[in-house]
Amino acid sequence: MDIVIYHNPACGTSRNALELIRHVGIEPHVIEYLKTPPSRAMVAWLAGRTGAPLRDLLREKGTPFAELGLENPDRTDEQLLDAIEAHPILLNRPIVVGPLGVRLCRPSEAVLDLLPVENLKPFTKEDGEVVIDADGRRAGR
């Protein structure tokens, strides 16, 4: 299975999603999007494939979101793309692309919706939260 993750190694959610992908036996293509930002066209494509508005891929915390006035609902997608192009940190993470779809994987266990999930082994996030229990079931389901 070919999986791509737009990843920020400084982000715990992104690290957990990456480890979940590896946990099911897949080595994804890892794109550290702050070092290699996706093109405007790719960001627009990613948003379109998630089925959500581009605005839903924006990150507020630790970014120039407020300073740029991006909370204004009148901002067009072109203006949002301009902002992401100038400040890639505005792109929320992790975004995972695979044969089963594209999604912003927040929380990190949302990545399991894009992966083969048979015969899962237990998995605990780095903060101690159980994602897959001892019986191979997703916690909280």
Digit-coded pLDDT (tens) for 74-117: 999 999 999 999 999 999 999 999 999 999 999 999 999 999 87
Give 25-62 pLDDT, tens digit per residue: 999 999 999 999 999 999 999 999 999 999 999 999 99
Which position has the token pair 């079931």? 137
Of the residues 3, 11, 58, 84, only one is catalytic, namely 11
Distance, CA of 80 to CA of 65 (rounded, Å)? 10
Q: What spatial distance separates the first Cα and last Cα of the chain, rounded to whole Å?
A: 25
The answer to whether 105 is a known catalytic residue is: no
DSSP string, 40-109: HHHHHHHHHHHTS-GGGGB--TTSSTTTTTTT-TT--HHHHHHHHHH-GGGB-S-EEEETTEEEE-SSGG
pTM of the model: 0.93
Looking at residues 63-74, what average pLDDT do you find?
97
Is the pLDDT reported for residue 5 higher than 70? yes
**Long-range contacts at 121-128 (CB < 8 A, ≥ 24 apart):** 121/23, 123/19, 123/20, 123/23, 125/12, 125/16, 126/12, 126/15, 126/16, 126/19, 127/12
Residue 141: the pLDDT is: 66
Distance, CA of 30 to CA of 14 (rounded, Å)? 11
Residue 120: the pLDDT is: 87
